[in-house]
Structure 1
Amino acid sequence: MAAERGAYQVGGRLAATSRAVGFAVVVLVYVAAGLAAWAVLALLRGQHLLAVTFYADLVATVVVFGASVLVANASVYDPYWSVAPAVIVAGWVLWQAGGDLAAVTGRQVAVLLLVLAWSIRLTANWASSWRGLSHEDWRYVQLREQRPAGVPWWLINLTGIQLMPTLVVFAGLLAVWPAVTVTGRPWGLLDIVAVVVTAAAVLIEATADRQLHRFAGDPANRGRIIDRGLWRYSRHPNYLGEITFWWGMWLFAMAAAPSWWWTVIGPVSMVLLFAFVSVPMMDRRSLVRRPAYAEHMRQVPALLPRPAMLRPRRG
């Protein structure tokens, strides 16, 4: 096992290629995944579209997984989190409208635009930080190096890094289904609340990422802990924004079809993923790299700010 780990080279034979080549590979992989998903849709035509979408989503994920094995880089999957939902939601809207853009409702437009804004921002954030096929997310490197003896890396890559997030995101999309396919209820107050919550979520994510990039890009902050802006109130405001986005999608579902209340499993799944997987991993890494982070954890909550922290300072 030790020899296997030592022999692994991120990027494999393509490790020395340029960043542009890396992005070209990712684009080709996603085109192939899209074609595979389209084939599933064609083969299962006539079945319920929600179920068919789920099968197509899984097949596309397996295609991306296969490519990640071929190029020895699990980060090939990373943009799937933000790219797939936008494609799926756009497809659902067009299907419901029968291809007639004039038939698209106000709620459908609002949901689609917000999903696209979220998708473009998150995908661009990944693209700006990914350096090419020789660069793999540090979490994947850690999982590979610390995996139990006898457990093959491909299995962790398939289940933990790729299939699990696909399933969680699809759970989140369950709420989007009624929001864009049930059109009998008119636009109402809950729709407005959903727009505000979802737009605020995208803004929180964008602001948190911009503040973090600016902080990390200043050499004077090397080794320091970011505790300014949104990061003063939450250790992971970017994760808070992501969770809030999916709650906003659920509010749209409630506005369109209250009987779909059970799709709350989507945002709840997001809370569990970030609270029990993503946040602990990030905190453990920060504790190792910055000893003062333990005190920071005691002072700043992981996700939701404490009410007292939001009160304006006197004087």
Structure 2
Amino acid sequence: MSPLPVETWLRRGLLASFRWPVKFCASTTIVAWILSLITGNVSQVDRVWTFLPTIYTAYFSLLPLWPKDAPLPLWPYAPEAIHPDIKARYSPRALLMLALVVVWMLRLSYNTWRRGLFNLHDEDYRWRIVRNKIPAWLFQVFNLVFIAIIQNIILLLLGIPAHIAAFQQPTRLSTSDYILGTLALIDIVLEFVADNQQYSFQTYKHTGVHEANEWPGARINWTPRDAQRGFVTRGLWAWSRHPNFLCEQTFWVIITLFPLLAPESPNLPSLPLGSMTPLWPLAPALVLCTLFFSSTRFTESISLSKYSDAYRAYQQRVAMFVPFLTPVWGLLLQVRGKKEQVDEMLFGQGEKGKRE
């Protein structure tokens, strides 16, 4: 029996509302992989990471906007098989989620731009390290399976909460929507502050000059002692080793919770995999958190190789993500009689430790 054409498989094997997103995801995966082979640079997905979750969220949130047939290849469309009520009315919850994801995109795009990652010649330093650690053939397998395919699937998953919200069809926003929306905005602001503090520190570390017109929250008086230490330990980074990663994960947890905490039923049986487990709507947050935890462990192994004793002390003193645990680690060091020594190594600016 000959295999089904892709279009036929999409029609038979997927909900109508997922046909275009899956087709678009497959296309971006193939393009990213081919470009990585042509250029030798595997950061192609990194360059579009800031846009793809917004595209998927926008597709599901704006289903009434799309035509029933695509006028151009990869143009978004809403097949006739989608329930007419879904194509007739916008979900205010999905629109709120889209607005928050757009704000998230603007923050991440700005940070990506100033770090130079939109430059087609730049590549994430972690990919270079992985390339040097394993055989060339194995790295190409890793490039195809993880960097191209799995990462694009994760980005598609981040649109699922908006899909659920679009099918809920609330008439107005609920109390949970207002609370989660406020928390999401606070989270984005904190991530922006963490990014700015890191960027300010790296600028001072490499130039010895404080950035002019620093963003509020990043106006820290860095010292030669900070630059000599090699990694940022002040501001939000005194409470979490990765406050930006914490906020990134928290943002998508909040987005995932929007439809799940709403008074309307998530209507799971009508969605993909609904018959398998009622926990599947948590997949976007769980998969992203798993990715960030693994990535952070790898990033920290690199930092340990560069900064050795100082970074090991940082791991003992400051929590990886959750800032509320940092005082606990400090108390444990105090019991062991090492807190003063560690604080001086990490936060000290002179004879006595100083922490901002």
| Closer, same or farther: CA 98–73 of 1 in aligned 2, 3 Å | closer
Give the structure 2 partner of residue 258 of structure 1: 266
Say yes or no: does 1:166 pair with 2:166.
no
Which one-letter code corresponds to 1:77 in the other structure? V
Measured against aligned partners, the alpha-carbon deviations of 1:200-247 in whole angstroms (never above 9, x if no partner) come to 222222111001001111123434231222111110111111111111
User: What's 2:313 paired with?
Assistant: 295
- Runs of 4+ aligned structure 1 residues displaced above 6 Å come to 40-43
- Matches of 1:88 and 1:172, distance apart in 2: 8
Q: Map of 1:300-311 to 2, 5 A cutoff?
A: 300-306=318-324, 309=327
Aligned partner letter, 1:282: T
Matches within 5 A, 1:129-148: 129-130=115-116, 132-147=119-134
User: What are the within-5 Å matches in structure 2 for residues 118-133 of structure 1?
Assistant: 118-130=104-116, 132-133=119-120
Q: Is the 8 A contact 1:179 1:253 kept in 2?
A: yes
Q: Distance in 1 between matches of 2:152 and 2:322?
A: 25
CA distance in 2, matches of 1:88, 1:73: 25
- Report Cα offsets for 1:177-213 as digits up to 9, x if no partner: 1123421464211112221232222222211100100
User: Given the alignment, which residue of 108, 125, 129 partners 2:94?
Assistant: 108
Question: Which position in structure 2 is the counterpart of 1:18?
Answer: none
Residues in 1 aligned to 2:200 and 2:136: alpha-carbon distance in whole angstroms:
42
- Asked if 1:274 is matched to 2:292, the reply is yes
2:54 is matched with 86
TM-score (norm 1): 0.76
Is 1:236 aligned to 2:204, yes or no?
no
Q: Distance in 1 between matches of 2:61 and 2:303?
A: 42
2:227 to 200, 217, 222: 222
Q: Secondary structure at the match of 2:43?
A: helix
C-alpha change, 1:43 and 1:164, in structure 2 (3 Å) is closer
How far has the Cα of 1:104 moved from its partner? 3.5
Query: For residues 305 and 151 of structure 1, what CA distance do their matches in structure 2 show?
Result: 41
Per the TM alignment, residue 267 of structure 1 is displaced from its structure 2 partner at its CA by: 0.6
Q: Which has the higher contact order (CA 8 A, sep 6+)?
A: 1
Question: 2:271 is matched with which residue?
Answer: none
Please, which moves more after superposition, 206-215 or 169-178? 169-178
User: Quick one: structure 1 residues 183 and 42, their matched pair in 2 at CA, closer, same or farther if it must change by over 3 Å?
Assistant: farther
After TM superposition, list the pairs within 5 Å mapping 1:55-74 onto structure 2. Answer: 55-74=23-42
State which drifts further: 280-289 or 130-139: 130-139
Evaluate the alpha carbon distance shift between residue 53 and residue 76 of structure 1 in structure 2; reply closer, same or farther with a 3 A threshold: same
Q: Greater helix percent: which structure? A: 1
CA distance in 2, matches of 1:65, 1:158: 6
C-alpha distance after superposition, 1:97-151 (max 9, x if no partner): 567x99544323311111111112112211221263432111110111112x363
| Contact 1:96/1:180 (8 A) holds in 2 | no
Distance 1:70 1:54 in 2: 24
Give the SS at the match of 1:79.
helix
1:198, 1:140 → 2: CA distance? 30
Judged with a 3 Å threshold, the aligned counterparts in structure 2 of structure 1 residues 128 and 174 are, in CA distance, closer, same or farther, namely same
Confirm or deny: 8 A CA contact 2:154 2:288 kept in the other structure.
Answer: yes
Name which of structure 1's ranges 40-49 and 261-270 shifts more when overlaid on structure 2: 40-49
> How far apart, CA to CA, are the structure 1 residues paired with 2:326 and 2:49?
34
Q: Work out which of the two has the higher radius of gyration on C-alpha atoms and give 1 or 2.
A: 2
1:43 Cα shift?
10
Distance 1:227 1:109, change over 3 A: same
The one-letter amino acid of 1:74's match is V
Asked if 1:156 is matched to 2:142, the reply is yes
Look up the equivalent residue of 2:324 and give its one-letter code: R
In 2, distance between residues paired with 1:42 and 1:199? 41
The normalised TM-score by structure 2 is 0.68
One of 185, 190, 212 as aligned partner of 2:176: 190
CA RMSD of aligned residues (A): 2.8
Rounded to whole Å, the distance in 1 between the matches of 2:168 and 2:17 is 13
Identity across the alignment (%): 25
Runs of 5+ consecutive residues of structure 1 not aligned to the other structure: 1-39, 311-315
8 Å contact from structure 1 (residues 79, 123) kept in 2? no
Q: Which amino acid aligns with 1:270?
A: L
| Contact 1:234/1:300 (8 A) holds in 2 | yes
How many residue pairs get aligned? The number is 269
